[in-house]
Structure 1
Amino acid sequence: MPAKEIAPKDIAPKDIAAPLLAWYDRAHRRLPWRAPPGANAADPYRVWLSEIMLQQTTVAAVIPYFEHFTSRWPTVEALAAAEDGDVLAAWAGLGYYARARNLIACARAVASEHGGRFPETEAALRGLPGVGAYTSAAIAAIAFGQRAVVVDGNVERVVARLFAVETPLPAARPQLRALADTITPGARAGDFAQAMMDLGATVCRPRSPDCLVCPLVVSCDSARRGIADALPAKTPKPPRPTRYANVYVLRDADEVMLVRRPPRGLLGGMLGLPMSEIADTPAPDNAHPGAPAAVRWTRSARPVTHVFTHFELHLAVFSGDLSGITKPSGDWRVANKSAARDLPTLFRKALDFVV
């Protein structure tokens, strides 16, 4: 008599946790913020810092930033005592700059309100600036070994395929989280969370999942049905609107003018080039809104295009020279490639056009 086929709803936590953790013990990614498999806990500061950096950013991009931050500010107290401008400059190029402002606020909250120790529960962690549902669960599980349901994009993909959830994202998210809860074990919570992430990143990839080496293939409904590559389904996103602005590279001899952006709004608090307000239509060629000085401006032959989450920005790049005009106030730097080091990516692009 053939063995009874196990339906996805009958999958027990041990059917997932045991093979997945055995796979993780031998195949885990070695990352600078991780404790070895089987360790009781990881450093909460390093876990928190890595999780904030990894939001909407790749592991490869994060590693050098993480190593620089932890070398310069090895503890949460050290980061809390840092100057805002220094932290923002160190973050430049990593993107999603609200994370950097929340990073500073959270470090100071932990240092001043919690005696330099991160709270250990999801609920208490959620009270920290910039710490949401996912991040609080990840810190609770990885740093403190608590059972928490940790669901990022990699985990969503693994769960959607494991249970053959055909409801498109983002509508499927509550269901996927509930299903993740059913397979999350009480023991080795941090290792389980990281194992699910590693599985999604290295085996259960967005395209061409490697089902032949997957430790969960015998329990995976989408693999059994041959539809793993089609999941998770996603509702098509509407096209991003296009917005426009002018950016200005103003020189004085061998220096270029930089300015500190307002603390709130796009790229808040970051060092950048002078820039006009963002608009729905481009400014006329002979108009220079937001220009830092009344000089002759020369437009670059091509614009800078930079994609943000909700819109695509086209920057018209203008360069000008003071030529004896009184120097306006700003952060003047020698106009070479090193001047771009502390700038967000879109300003680096603009400076590259004219330096």
Structure 2
Amino acid sequence: MGNIARPLLDWYDAHARALPWRSPPGRPRADPYRVWLSEIMLQQTTVAAVRPKFEMFVARWPSVAALAAADEAELMAAWAGLGYYARARNLIACARVVAEAGAFPETEAGLRGLPGVGAYTAAAIAAIAFGERAAVVDANVARVVARLFAISQPLPGAMETIRAATDTITPADRPGDFVQAMMDLGSAICTPRKPACLACPLNAACTAYAAGMAEAYPVKPAKAAKPQRYGTIFWLEDAGQVLLVRRPPKGLLGGMRALPTGPWAAAPPVLEDAPVRSNWEMLPGTVAHVFTHFRLELALAVGQARGHAVAGEWWPADDLESAGLPTVFAKAAAEIRRVSA
């Protein structure tokens, strides 16, 4: 494969994305807190979605010590919209461990011991924040490397092969910039469809490009159909306020504020799952949402509290944006208000 680091870093020096958690190419290493926070946020989420959330987080909690002292419910509400809410719970747990220790561990091995920090995240922080040579493989890097080496093994089984190949091309000099250059190359040039191979600084070394087959890599398995589940969201109103509940601390959307809902099951739901007896009215239509492992279709029921004592939290119906509802519940609330208007 030869030395691809030099042409790649030259390209990065000229074309690096300006991101609020990065240091410019060739400059002193980035703040470990900002690197760690951005990497946790970016898991299964786009840069465009993360950027405003990241800027809000660091304005609100500018250091790991400040985040460690945050109210958990406040942090969970601030996380709304980023998905994978277990990450938010791990975020504050990790912040507390680091704050107590006084600093982040500076090695990949040390970082692996932190709550919510897996193999990829530890390698990324070690390289970007501490200059440790580490093989960092996110989705963009995996695509670039699969094409460079024409790795024909299908994903996800190919990841160990891709990681080993990444290790062979990762330099000891400027490893953090190299990692971010690979990420930027995958985002801007080596895209999933219609890669701009003629503009790629690594095309002379790319096996897939030489064969005219760049889009054939990485090889992906056939997608399995996601199971379908059904549920009902209950909008219980009283004097302009709507009932919110706190979901169980463990499990999907754990610990988040939400509208009451019956179980999510394989069969359409019934009103016996309602939180209280009321004059429930079923609204026309449903709200659909896709999670990682299943599709969800939600019927919408509205009712009046009529003085019933219910467990939960009453929230102004016209200020639900500040409640930090997960996306599926925010979508349902918007649809209920639209239909009921």
TM-score interval for Structure 1 and Structure 2 normalised by the shorter chain: over 0.9
Question: For residue 105 of structure 2, what is the amino acid of its counterpart?
Answer: P
1:71 aligns with 2:59: yes
**Counterpart contact for 1:293–1:328, Cα < 8 Å:** yes
Find the partner of 2:178 among 192, 197, 203: 192
**Counterpart contact for 1:299–1:316, Cα < 8 Å:** yes
**Superposition misfits of 4+ residues, deviation over 3 angstroms:** 337-341
Corresponding residue number in structure 2 for 1:294: 277
Q: TM-score, with normalisation over the residues of structure 2?
A: 0.96
**Counterpart contact for 2:26–2:177, Cα < 8 Å:** yes
Question: For residue 224 of structure 1, what is the amino acid of its counterpart?
Answer: A
Match of 1:276, SS state, is coil
Cα offset, 1:292, TM superposition: 2.0
Q: Distance in 2 between matches of 1:354 and 1:169?
A: 40
**Counterpart contact for 2:257–2:323, Cα < 8 Å:** no
Q: Distance in 1 between matches of 2:132 and 2:266?
A: 48
1:259 aligns with 2:245: yes
1:174 aligns with 2:160: yes
Corresponding residue number in structure 2 for 1:309: 292
Corresponding residue number in structure 2 for 1:5: none
Cα offset, 1:329, TM superposition: 3.4
Q: TM-score, with normalisation over the residues of structure 1?
A: 0.93
Give CA-to-partner distance per residue, 1:131-177, whole Å, 9 cap, x none.
Answer: 00000000000000010000001001000111111221112111111
Q: How many residues align?
A: 337
1:336 aligns with 2:318: yes
Q: For 1:223-262, list aligned pairs within 5 A.
A: 223-262=209-248
Cα offset, 1:233, TM superposition: 1.1
Structure 1 spans left out of the alignment, 5+ residues:
1-10
Q: Distance in 2 between matches of 1:341 and 1:274?
A: 14
Question: For residue 166 of structure 2, what is the amino acid of its counterpart?
Answer: A
Match of 1:101, SS state, is helix
1:345 aligns with 2:327: yes
**Counterpart contact for 1:333–1:339, Cα < 8 Å:** no
Cα offset, 1:304, TM superposition: 1.3
Q: Distance in 2 between matches of 1:326 and 1:237?
A: 47
Question: For residue 17 of structure 2, what is the amino acid of its counterpart?
Answer: R
Cα offset, 1:326, TM superposition: 2.9
Q: 1:319 to 1:340 in 2, by over 3 A?
A: farther
Q: Distance in 1 between matches of 2:277 and 2:165?
A: 61
Question: For residue 31 of structure 2, what is the amino acid of its counterpart?
Answer: D
Q: Distance in 1 between matches of 2:126 and 2:287?
A: 41
Find the partner of 1:216 among 175, 198, 202: 202
Find the partner of 2:71 among 83, 107, 115: 83
CA RMSD across the alignment: 1.1
Question: For residue 294 of structure 2, what is the amino acid of its counterpart?
Answer: F
Question: For residue 23 of structure 1, what is the amino acid of its counterpart?
Answer: W
**Counterpart contact for 2:77–2:257, Cα < 8 Å:** yes
Corresponding residue number in structure 1 for 2:49: 61
Structure 2 spans left out of the alignment, 5+ residues:
none
